[in-house]
A = this chain, B = another copy of it.
Amino acid sequence: MRKAPSEAPKRVTAAVLVIGNEILSGRTKDANLAYLAIELNKLGVRLLEARVIADVEERIIAALNALRAEYDYVFTTGGIGPTHDDITAECVAKAFGVPLRRHPEAVKMLARRFANPADLNEARLRMANVPEGGVLIDNPVSGAPGFQIGNVFVMAGVPAIMQAMFHGLRHRIVGGEPLCARTLATNLPEGKIAQGLGALQARHPEVEIGSYPFYSRGRFGVSLVIRATDERAIERTANELKQMLVALGGEILDDASG
């Protein structure tokens, strides 16, 4: 969303709440956080926090209430299937203090998936339970919808389904200005550039400079990432940074936008 030049750019923030024992046991590697981080930034929304919690009612309620009060948007993943350990919808209803209702449109969505009505059993119908006031999120992959209530979007945990749901809900998100980034990688050690880098950050408070060491094939290097909503500010800072790295005897191993 482009803002009129006179308007101050608004910072729109978000948090992700990953609900699921399988991530905390190490059985499954979370794949949703990185996807949401990148997609939210494209919409001009800054992901500022993520939490991974177990399928425990009081923990889900407490985390959800903390995050929805602090950030503009909250995206949850996981816990909306038909089994006994899928308790996200009940917990969201309790967090908002509203009853959980069987949503007629959600029942229809599920019914379209099952040729034999007997297959739409009570366990599957649980997936049509939505907190009162919730607006459905379409699930083109497996039928059972997610839902939005207030600033909270409740999505599935399976990455293919979560991504399809996010694609369908993205028009509901009102973002600010996207953050642009430029990454310079160098073979210099962090300790050698730290002083100059700190001075550069102090001279350019309009950008955010991050320093991310890497260790690859027995050698250390650093990726320096400059972020800002203003691309010219990034350009100015990047030029100074390059001069600094070369003056310190470093090589620029990579220089990329984004």
Chain A interface (Cβ < 8 Å from any Cβ of B): 20-30, 33-38, 41, 46-55, 59, 81-86, 119, 121-124, 126-127, 141-142, 158, 160-161, 179, 181, 183, 190-195, 197-198, 201-202, 208-215, 220, 223, 225, 227
Whether A83 touches B220, Cβ cut-off 8 Å, given contacts A38-B26, A52-B49, is: no
Residue contact B21 to A121, C-beta cutoff 8 Å: no
Q: Known pairs A27-B223, A121-B195. 6 more at Cβ < 8 A?
A: A24-B46, A25-B227, A84-B197, A123-B195, A124-B194, A161-B215
From B30, B48, B51, A54 is in contact (CB under 8 Å) with: B48
A27, A53, A201 pick with most chain B CB within 10 angstroms? A27
Residue contact A49 to B51, C-beta cutoff 8 Å: yes
9 nearest interchain CB pairs?
A26-B37, A123-B194, A84-B198, A26-B38, A83-B211, A124-B191, A50-B52, A82-B194, A83-B194
Residue contact B30 to A33, C-beta cutoff 8 Å: yes
Q: What chain B residues lie within 8 Å of A158 (beta carbons)? A: 213-215
Residue contact B215 to A160, C-beta cutoff 8 Å: yes
Whether A37 touches B50, Cβ cut-off 8 Å, given contacts A123-B191, A158-B213, A191-B82, is: no
Q: What chain B residues lie within 8 Å of A181 (beta carbons)? A: 25, 27
Q: What chain B residues lie within 8 Å of A81 (beta carbons)? A: 190, 194, 211, 213
Residue contact A34 to B29, C-beta cutoff 8 Å: yes
| CA distance in complex: A208, B52 (Å) | 18
A38, A50, A82, A122 pick with most chain B CB within 10 angstroms? A82
Residue contact A49 to B54, C-beta cutoff 8 Å: yes
Residue contact B48 to A24, C-beta cutoff 8 Å: yes
| Closest-CB distance, A241 to chain B (whole angstroms) | 13
A-B contact pairs, 16 of them (CB 8 A): A23-B33, A23-B50, A25-B37, A25-B225, A26-B33, A26-B47, A27-B181, A27-B212, A48-B53, A83-B193, A83-B198, A84-B194, A121-B191, A121-B194, A158-B214, A158-B215
